[in-house]
């Protein structure tokens, strides 16, 4: 197969992809398990899935973005009809008079990594190997597409019954956010969404590249290490170039919900090389900042990931419980997320940590 056709996704890729996506979710982004099952159903029904590198399509090709939005609880109770995102995307194509050439994920971390792959397969389109975060963030404006100037005047939502609502001539991102939320609640607090088409040359400049392949690679590493009964955490660190920052047992987890977000802290009592030390992780859906003995050692936009020490299972922030044995891994964010303009949107100050200044993650 010629290189510029990318590569097909098979059923065997889906579990690794969901494991990698969960880990890149840095504690948030939702559980990709159900998305993986949906993708498997779509494949078993005969669809094909293809992943395309960012350098293949011409500059003027249109790239679509889709995702599920709503409360996580709705996702585990009222499953999708299946074509919500496809309908929303078609509505965008009709409104703009364009046809999409491929889709791209806004967020590789967590549950929404799978949705563009499902919708693309239904539409017979490929998915680009990249995304707008290289991880998960709690808010839509925290994607590289938004940071580097995507337009937000248009969006569409669809529900299970087939209703499609098109939002056009939207004045600003805040209005869009408000309208999407309100309508989503009317749709039962869960819906399929599609955003403005992006031109391929813009995507090439602004997407975090290679993240679909990266997620699959991480997942394969986890599964392979388990099969060989090797240390999963070691293997993942070796493979990703991340760094082990701490190991220990969770001593306390405090959570509160404000403004629709889960905020809180996890305290970890050191074990092994860190016996006698204590780590603290600040949480807002995702892991935001890691302190060891009071010193900040990793912070957004860099990735802070918790894995269960023995199984290597990625732990989302809602899974953290007293007594969990965890390894805390740090991985540097993509340079697109650490520019001066990006740090104004995804740096520590944007999450209320005005006293912290982002410095490149020590990976040695």
Partner 1 sequence: MIRIGIDVGGTNTDAALLDGDRVVAGVKQPTTGDVTSGVVNALRALLDRSGVAPDAIDAVMIGTTHFTNAVVERQGLAPTAAVRLGLPSTASLPPMVDWPDDLRAAIGGRAFLAHGGREFDGRPISPLDPEELRRIAGEIAAEGLRSVAVSAVFSPVSADDERQAAEILSEALPGIPLTLSSEIGQLGLLERENAAIMNACLREMSGRVVEAFRAAVAETGIGGRVFLTRNDGTLMDADLAARFPVLTFASGPTNSMRGAAFLSGLRDAIVLDIGGTTSDLGMIVGGFPRQAPLAVEVGGVRTNFRMPEVFSVGLGGGSILREGPDGPVAGPRTVGYRLTAEARVFGGDTLTATDIAVAAGIAQLGDPARVADLPPALVDGALAHVRATLARGIDRARLSPAPLPVIVVGGGSILAAGMEGPDGAAIVIPPHHAVANAVGAAIATVSGEVDTVVSLAGADRDAALHAARRQAVEAALAAGAAPASVEIVDVEDVPLTYLPGNATRIRVRAIGVLDAAG
- The residues in 262-281 that bind partner 1, with binding defined as CB under 8 A, are 262, 269
Q: Using the rule CB under 8 A, is 226 a contact of partner 1?
A: no
- For the bound state, the minimum distance from the C-beta of residue 194 to partner 1, rounded and expressed in Å, comes to 17
Per-residue burial over 191-204, b = 16 or more CB atoms within 10 Å of its CB, e = otherwise: bbbbbbbbbbebbb
CB 53 within 8 A of CB 102: no
Cα distance from N-terminal residue to C-terminal residue, the chain: 39
Q: Of 168 and 255, which CB lies nearer to partner 1 in the complex structure?
A: 255
- Out of 153, 179, 181, 278, name the contact with partner 1 by CB under 8 A: 181
- Out of 324, 327, 332, 346, name the contact with partner 1 by CB under 8 A: 324
- For the bound state, the minimum distance from the C-beta of residue 296 to partner 1, rounded and expressed in Å, comes to 26
Q: Of 5 and 81, which CB lies nearer to partner 1 in the complex structure?
A: 81
β-pairing verdict for 49-52 and 127-131: parallel
Q: Using the rule CB under 8 A, is 335 a contact of partner 1?
A: no
Q: Of 123 and 208, which CB lies nearer to partner 1 in the complex structure?
A: 123
- For the bound state, the minimum distance from the C-beta of residue 86 to partner 1, rounded and expressed in Å, comes to 11
Per-residue mark of binding to partner 1, 300-319 (x: CB under 8 A): ----------x--x-----x
- The residues in 35-74 that bind partner 1, with binding defined as CB under 8 A, are 37-38, 41, 70-74
Q: Of 29 and 209, which CB lies nearer to partner 1 in the complex structure?
A: 29
Q: Using the rule CB under 8 A, is 12 a contact of partner 1?
A: no
* One-letter-per-residue 3-state SS of 157-220: EECCCCCEEEECCCCCHHHHHHHHHHHHHHCCCEEEEEECCEEHHHHHHHCEECHHHHHHHHHH
CA pair distance 24, 314, nearest whole angstrom: 9
DSSP H helices, the chain, are 11-24, 33-44, 72-77, 84-96, 115-123, 144-147, 173-186, 200-206, 211-227, 232-240, 340-346
- For the bound state, the minimum distance from the C-beta of residue 158 to partner 1, rounded and expressed in Å, comes to 11
CA pair distance 253, 251, nearest whole angstrom: 7
CA pair distance 17, 222, nearest whole angstrom: 11
CA pair distance 170, 156, nearest whole angstrom: 11
In eight-state DSSP terms, residue 350 is: G
CB 127 within 8 A of CB 52: yes
CB 35 within 8 A of CB 43: no
CB 218 within 8 A of CB 24: yes
Q: Of 270 and 347, which CB lies nearer to partner 1 in the complex structure?
A: 270
CB 66 within 8 A of CB 116: yes
- Out of 239, 249, 265, 280, name the contact with partner 1 by CB under 8 A: 249
- For the bound state, the minimum distance from the C-beta of residue 37 to partner 1, rounded and expressed in Å, comes to 5
- For the bound state, the minimum distance from the C-beta of residue 185 to partner 1, rounded and expressed in Å, comes to 6
- For the bound state, the minimum distance from the C-beta of residue 184 to partner 1, rounded and expressed in Å, comes to 8
- Out of 10, 55, 78, 359, name the contact with partner 1 by CB under 8 A: 78
Per-residue mark of binding to partner 1, 151-170 (x: CB under 8 A): ---------xxx--------
In eight-state DSSP terms, residue 243 is: E
Determine the size of the site formed for partner 1 (CB under 8 A): 40
Q: Using the rule CB under 8 A, is 173 a contact of partner 1?
A: no
Per-residue mark of binding to partner 1, 91-120 (x: CB under 8 A): ------------------------------
CA pair distance 125, 147, nearest whole angstrom: 26
Residues that bind partner 1 in the complex, under the rule CB under 8 A: 34, 37-38, 41, 70-74, 76-82, 160-162, 181-182, 184-185, 188-189, 249, 251, 257, 260-262, 269, 285, 310, 313, 319, 321-324
């Amino acid at each position: 197969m010629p290189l510029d056709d990318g590569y097909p996704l098979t059923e065997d890729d889906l579990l690794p992809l969901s494991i990698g996506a969960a880990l890149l979710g840095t504690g948030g982004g939702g559980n990709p398990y159900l998305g993986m099952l949906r993708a498997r159903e779509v494949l078993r029904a005969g669809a094909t899935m293809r992943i395309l590198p960012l350098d293949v399509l011409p500059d003027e090709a249109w790239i679509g973005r889709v995702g599920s939005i709503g409360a996580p609880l709705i996702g585990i109770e009222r499953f999708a009809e299946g074509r919500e995102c496809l309908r929303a995307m078609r509505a965008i194509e009709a409104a703009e008079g364009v046809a999409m050439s491929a889709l791209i994920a806004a967020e590789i971390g967590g549950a929404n990594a799978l949705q563009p792959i499902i919708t693309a397969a239904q539409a017979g389109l490929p998915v680009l190997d990249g995304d707008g975060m290289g991880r998960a963030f709690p808010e839509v404006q925290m994607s590289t597409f938004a940071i580097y100037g995507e337009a937000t005047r248009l969006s569409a939502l669809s529900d299970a019954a087939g209703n499609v609502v098109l939002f056009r001539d939207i004045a600003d991102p805040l209005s869009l956010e408000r309208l999407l939320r309100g309508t989503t609640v009317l749709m039962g607090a869960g819906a399929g969404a599609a955003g403005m088409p992006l031109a391929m040359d813009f995507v090439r400049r602004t997407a975090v590249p290679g993240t679909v392949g990266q997620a699959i690679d991480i997942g394969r590493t986890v599964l392979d290490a388990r099969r060989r009964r090797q240390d999963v955490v070691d293997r993942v660190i070796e493979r990703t170039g991340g760094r082990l920052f701490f190991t220990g047992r969770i001593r306390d987890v405090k959570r509160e919900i404000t403004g629709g977000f889960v905020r809180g802290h996890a305290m970890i009592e050191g074990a092994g090389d860190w016996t006698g030390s204590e780590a603290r992780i600040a949480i807002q859906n995702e892991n935001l900042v890691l302190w060891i003995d009071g010193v900040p050692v990793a912070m957004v936009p860099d990735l802070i990931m918790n894995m269960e020490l023995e199984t290597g299972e990625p732990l989302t922030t809602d899974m953290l419980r007293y007594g969990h044995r965890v390894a805390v891994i740090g991985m540097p964010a993509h340079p697109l997320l650490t520019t001066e303009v990006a740090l104004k949107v995804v740096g520590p100050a944007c999450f209320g940590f005005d006293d912290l200044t982002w410095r490149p993650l020590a990976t040695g």
